[in-house]
Amino acid sequence: MTASEAPAEATGPRAVVLLSGGLDSATALALARSQGLSCYALSVSYGQRHVAELAAAARVAAALGAREHRVMHVDLAGIGGSALTDPNLAVPESATTGIPITYVPARNTLMLALALGWAEVLGAQRLVIGVNVLDSSGYPDCRPEFVRAFQALAGLATKAGVEGMQFEVYAPLIAMSKAQIIRAGLSLGVDYGLTVSCYQADEEGRACGRCDACRLRREGFAAAGVPDPTRYR
Amino acid sequence: MTASEAPAEATGPRAVVLLSGGLDSATALALARSQGLSCYALSVSYGQRHVAELAAAARVAAALGAREHRVMHVDLAGIGGSALTDPNLAVPESATTGIPITYVPARNTLMLALALGWAEVLGAQRLVIGVNVLDSSGYPDCRPEFVRAFQALAGLATKAGVEGMQFEVYAPLIAMSKAQIIRAGLSLGVDYGLTVSCYQADEEGRACGRCDACRLRREGFAAAGVPDPTRYR
């Protein structure tokens, strides 16, 4: 989808959409837009090894008609503990058991907290996050019980909540397979060639083809029976 | 308390202590230290109007024997919506009704999320926060129900939680009056002259004496019947 094909600007209820630049969050944005939500896209720069995904997020936000796209910076590299934030830890290139080293401590809690703050200022009721429990890496903060717990917290944590706002954490992909996610996105005109999922993409956004994120993405396109537009290096 | 009078370095269970540089969080750190916890102090720079409180936090962390003090940066000024992060909004200097404009959207959710991430990497079970519901400004994220909701979230949000860690959000001041907090801190050797509570302190940390935070602090010293060491400008 090019910018000129973007949906007309929504005037519906506002939503803050967490947008990483990857496949899942692009689809979540498209689904939110298809419901007429006026979407404010939020990308969080948390010390990722590469910034290609932030560039991808900007392209996706424009193509899918987000009203605004903001990048907020948080220095999670100072915490470490993850192959995605600590340059001394290698990204695994073969299957592992358990929760992998690419897990970033408290990442989705932090990103939803930032989304909640912006939502409160915007008067947005919905926080949209593209988490997915089936074809995922087993991260704890991608599970339905996490989403429910954050939603419960949101009402208690905010002035808006005290004043009656019923925040909703909308996770439309949570029970979908990767193939279902891809088919849903394609039906809404998402150009997955704009997205970057790879944990170690190069500066041009080209994927390694070997990490967990690349594997899940490639298997998803194969299972959906559609061409994989990913640029591999 | 000077650094030389600091308690011996704790070797007990680890805790991450949110330390703003103000009176309450200094007392929370002292209480955590008095229980033998090995304390890792975390200050969050979120676009405050002044940095005097971060300098105060560093002094307090050293004086009270924190094992480490880190400052993490988050750009909440980009969100706005608060007199503490938006230079276009004035800090009120007289009493207001309801939740005041100094409320920072989702602040404590965000700070606890950062504390949780660091705690997970450290293997720390406890997150210590100096929130207080009695002599406070009525912020929603200072209430016991908020603290409980975050604690519930913490176990679901993290790899450590999935693997059995029972995170505890320890809010020792939550039901104390400001006078009780001050007396508790003094009994543990806290030097409140090191702390800065004012919402608009100058670069040397001198207080305005007129904002809500100054009012609550001054009334606390008066109620406790002890001299107020605050440096007013």
Rounded Cα gap, residues B29 and B40, in angstroms: 9
Say if B164 is an interface residue toward chain A (CB within 8 Å).
no
Instruction: Find the range with the poorest average confidence among A183-197, A211-225, B85-99.
Output: B85-99
pLDDT reported for residue B57: 96
Rounded Cα gap, residues B125 and A66, in angstroms: 40
User: Looking at residue B196, what DSSP letter applies?
Assistant: -
Q: Are B32 and B7 a contacting pair, CB within 8 Å?
A: no
B75 contacts in A (CB within 8 Å)?
72-73
pLDDT reported for residue B90: 83
pLDDT reported for residue B131: 95
How is chain A split into domains, by residue range? 3-224
Rounded Cα gap, residues A170 and A168, in angstroms: 6
pLDDT reported for residue B97: 75
Q: Are A179 and A164 a contacting pair, CB within 8 Å?
A: no
C-alpha to C-alpha distances, A9 to A5, A24, A33, nearest whole angstrom: 11, 22, 9
pLDDT reported for residue A100: 82
Q: What's the CATH fold of domain A3-224? A: Rossmann fold (3.40.50)
pLDDT reported for residue B14: 98
Rounded Cα gap, residues B225 and A87, in angstroms: 53
Rounded Cα gap, residues B17 and B128, in angstroms: 5
pLDDT tens, N- to C-terminus, chain B (233 residues): 334 344 555 579 999 999 999 999 999 999 999 999 999 999 998 876 567 889 999 999 999 999 999 999 887 777 777 887 777 888 888 777 778 888 888 999 999 999 999 999 999 999 999 999 876 678 899 999 999 999 999 999 999 999 999 999 999 999 999 999 999 999 999 999 999 999 889 988 999 999 988 999 999 999 999 999 999 99
Mean per-residue pLDDT for A10-35?
A: 94
B158 contacts in A (CB within 8 Å)?
105-106, 140-141
Q: Which of A74, A122, A127 to probe the B interface (max B CBs under 10 A)? A: A74
A35-94 pLDDT, tens digit each: 999 999 999 988 765 678 899 999 999 999 999 999 998 877 777 778 878 778 888 887
Specify the residue for token string 């358990």.
A98
Do B116 and A105 make contact, defined as CB atoms within 8 angstroms? yes
Do A106 and B117 make contact, defined as CB atoms within 8 angstroms? yes
User: Global pTM?
Assistant: 0.91
Enter the ipTM. 0.90
pLDDT reported for residue A4: 39
pLDDT reported for residue A184: 98
C-alpha to C-alpha distances, A190 to A12, A179, A187, B90, nearest whole angstrom: 21, 14, 8, 44
String of DSSP letters for A103-123: --TTHHHHHHHHHHHHHHHHT
pLDDT reported for residue B74: 87
String of DSSP letters for A190-226: --GGG----TT--TT--B-S-SHHHHHHHHHHHHHTS
Give me A135's structure tokens. Answer: 């074809």
Instruction: Say if residue A95's pLDDT is above 80.
Output: no
Nearest-CA residue of chain A relative to B116?
A106
State how far residue B86 is from chain A, nearest Cα, in angstroms.
12
pLDDT reported for residue B200: 87
Q: Are B89 and B25 a contacting pair, CB within 8 Å?
A: no
Of A166, A164, A132, A169, residue with least CA distance to A150: A169
Do A150 and B145 make contact, defined as CB atoms within 8 angstroms? no
3-class secondary-structure state, position A207: strand
pLDDT reported for residue A148: 97
Amino acid at B155: G
Nearest-CA residue of chain B relative to A144?
B156
pLDDT reported for residue B219: 95
pLDDT reported for residue A6: 46
